[in-house]
Structure 1
Amino acid sequence: MRPVSRWFGVLVLGVCQGSGAQETVKSGKDAPATARVAAPAASQADDAKAIATLIASFTKAFNAGDAVAAAATYSEEALVVDEQGKRTEGRAAVRDQLAASFADNPGSTIAIKVDALRFLGPDTALEEGQTTITPDGARGVPEVTHFTVVYVKRDGHWLQSAVRDEIRHDLTPHDRLKELEWLVGDWINESQDAVVHTACKWADNGNFLIREFTMKTHGQPILSGTQRIGWDPVRGQFKTWIFDTEGGFGEGYWTRNGDEWVIKAEGVQQDGRHASVTNILKRLGKDRASWQSVDRTLGGIAVPGIDEFTLVRKPPEAGK
């Protein structure tokens, strides 16, 4: 979602000069999409089949990482709006956005479930459904969104004209947090200066993740604290609350960019000074992640960032 958009070609509904809006529907690899057509007339049966074929072509191109072929399913003046409200206008811009998404997220696949297809006229159709994007390998959990798409018929061919992608609101906070479930466990970073230990677990109700951290220097604890991560349904983002043992506290929001999570946080130190930071957390594999802090300020003054370091998951203790 750029802001760190999971754009992946999921188009957002927009009004395209009265032609309506359309969304990129996803289907399993090369699997044809099917739609429940609202009382189609006999003359519309062929059009419904042609739209299903278009969806299958987009899916095949998407799963192959072929931005040119995927963009060919859009009209020249296509409008795409993602779940963050970012607008992409024109086939060429759609192609470039798809190419960037494929480069940032290689191997990701798309699946499309069409819920309904309704014809608004002989050359216009409206479709709704659900899209699922699955990252390659162990890079994360599938992302599910609701889409609305408007198709237009040009020179006998159906094309995507406008697409809207929206966050599903029927998912529970626990469902949302499964995207960060890989954080659960014990993690450690050791350097010449300090040792940082982080333990992450589910809250009892399963609607939050709780991270406890401790920093030691020369074997002595110098700082510890608690972080709680939950889902903000208003902003459609993960939100975090942080409290440390010195009396400081803060909050921030998470935004995903491929394998990276960008966490912009603000808070107050125990002495009343305002602090802000942008943290970048990147998953490097099942048991490794990197962390970096940039754009740090304290009391309105810029302070040095923290160079990227690696966190490693601790193996289970013997006998456990």
Structure 2
Amino acid sequence: MKPFLLLPLSLVLILGNAQGQPLEEFDPEAIAGIRLSSERYVEAFNQYDAKSIANLWVEDATYITSTGIELQGRAQIEEAFAKFFENNPGVSIGTVDSEILSVSGEWAAGSGIVAVTFEDGTVDESEYLVYWRKVGDEWLIQAEGETDPEDSPSPSFFLRDLEWLIGNWRDEGDEVTVESSYEWSIEKNDIRGSFKAIRDGDLEMDGVIRIGWDPIEGNIRSWTFDSDGGDAEGAWYEQDGKWYIKKLHVMPDGQVGSSVSVFNPIDANHIEWKSISREVGGEILPDVGPVKMVRISENQ
């Protein structure tokens, strides 16, 4: 097998044979932006221009090859492509199958299979998953993972951006103090959280949280269960450095509600949190917060 360097999923939008969810179901401006980035990629690839290809990633991009090699940043990505072109003259782009999984705010995710034909006629195929991020007016690649067709990146690949949440936290409102804790599972394939609300020194409510990767919807999701008998399911997305969780709630009495939680990581020890767009049974409820979450030690 020839040495193979993964091609971004974005190029499938102009090479055709795209499969999966129809593009018209997503933000047309986002699709147009990814298409433009794809055109630039193909042009640079056909000219063996490793520098221009690297510029289609964000500065702090992550690229994981099928052999497990992790490249960080544009410089390493440019070097890898330059070596690939040097070692594989005459390489060309072949048939591509793809699926756009989600487009949400400044983020998009997708998966697919790309085939590359080498000068001697050898064809290599690889599966991949990719995150794009909108930077200014451009859609650039934030993270990309390459796998053999029978393998896929683990959920930990997609959850790595939530590292800031891991730890023990306390926020003190006007009447209620909330203490929460988040930790990785053994393989970092999910995040396990717990919380308790204390009023006047007495435990008012507690609950558990699970955060994981949803491969069907192509996003991070969470599930919350509280001691009152309520539960909530949330879809996570990032925009402008803040994390938004669109939640659907089922109350203990069976009523259905919704809300949007917003986490704004300020620094390593502080997070601003608020809950907006709240409603239960069609009744609009006031926003909660913002409140500041402060990192604490396990013994505090």
- Give the TM-score normalised by structure 1: 0.54
Tell me the amino acid that sits aligned with residue 52 of structure 1: A
**Which residue number corresponds to residue 48 of structure 1?**
47
**Which residue number corresponds to residue 196 of structure 1?**
178
**Which residue number corresponds to residue 73 of structure 1?**
none
Tell me the amino acid that sits aligned with residue 202 of structure 2: Q
Find the aligned partners of 1:255 and 1:83 in 2 and give their Cα distance.
16
**Which residue number corresponds to residue 268 of structure 1?**
250
**Which residue number corresponds to residue 240 of structure 1?**
222
**Which residue number corresponds to residue 42 of structure 1?**
none
Displacement, 1:299? 1.5
Displacement, 1:287? 1.1
SS in 2 for 1:270: coil
Find the aligned partners of 1:24 and 1:82 in 2 and give their Cα distance.
20
Q: Indicate how the Cα distance of structure 1 residues 178 and 86 shifts in structure 2: closer, same or farther if over 3 A, else same.
A: closer
**Which residue number corresponds to residue 86 of structure 2?**
none
SS in 2 for 1:216: strand
**Which residue number corresponds to residue 271 of structure 2?**
289
Tell me, yes or no, if the aligned pair for 1:201 and 1:209 is still in contact at 8 Å: yes
Between the two proteins, what is the percent identity of the paired residues? Answer: 25
SS in 2 for 1:313: strand
**Structure 1: gaps (5+ residues):** 1-8, 26-32, 36-46, 64-80, 88-99, 105-114, 120-127, 135-141, 148-168
SS in 1 for 2:52: helix
| Alpha-carbon RMSD | 4.2
Q: Indicate how the Cα distance of structure 1 residues 261 and 24 shifts in structure 2: closer, same or farther if over 3 A, else same.
A: farther
Deviations 1:48-75 (A, max 9, x none): 34x335335x369x65xxxxxxxxxxxx
Tell me the amino acid that sits aligned with residue 54 of structure 1: S
Aligned pair 1:215/2:197, yes or no? yes
Find the aligned partners of 1:86 and 1:244 in 2 and give their Cα distance.
31
Tell me the amino acid that sits aligned with residue 264 of structure 2: K
Aligned pair 1:184/2:141, yes or no? no
Displacement, 1:199? 0.9
Displacement, 1:207? 2.2
Tell me the amino acid that sits aligned with residue 232 of structure 2: G
Displacement, 1:228? 0.6
Tell me, yes or no, if the aligned pair for 1:11 and 1:82 is still in contact at 8 Å: no
SS in 1 for 2:13: coil
Tell me, yes or no, if the aligned pair for 2:102 and 2:219 is still in contact at 8 Å: no
SS in 2 for 1:207: coil
Tell me, yes or no, if the aligned pair for 1:253 and 1:265 is still in contact at 8 Å: yes
Q: 2:292 aligns with which of 293, 310, 314?
A: 310
Q: Indicate how the Cα distance of structure 1 residues 275 and 195 shifts in structure 2: closer, same or farther if over 3 A, else same.
A: same
Displacement, 1:131? 7.5
**Which residue number corresponds to residue 124 of structure 1?**
none
SS in 1 for 2:14: coil
**Which residue number corresponds to residue 145 of structure 1?**
144
Find the aligned partners of 1:171 and 1:23 in 2 and give their Cα distance.
27
Displacement, 1:258? 3.4
Higher relative contact order (CA 8 A, sep 6+): 1
When the two structures are aligned, how many residues end up with a matched partner? 212
Tell me the amino acid that sits aligned with residue 226 of structure 2: D
Displacement, 1:194? 1.5
Tell me, yes or no, if the aligned pair for 2:128 and 2:152 is still in contact at 8 Å: no
- Give the TM-score normalised by structure 2: 0.58
**Which residue number corresponds to residue 227 of structure 1?**
209
**Structure 2: gaps (5+ residues):** 1-7, 18-34, 60-97, 108-113, 119-126, 134-140
Tell me the amino acid that sits aligned with residue 253 of structure 2: D
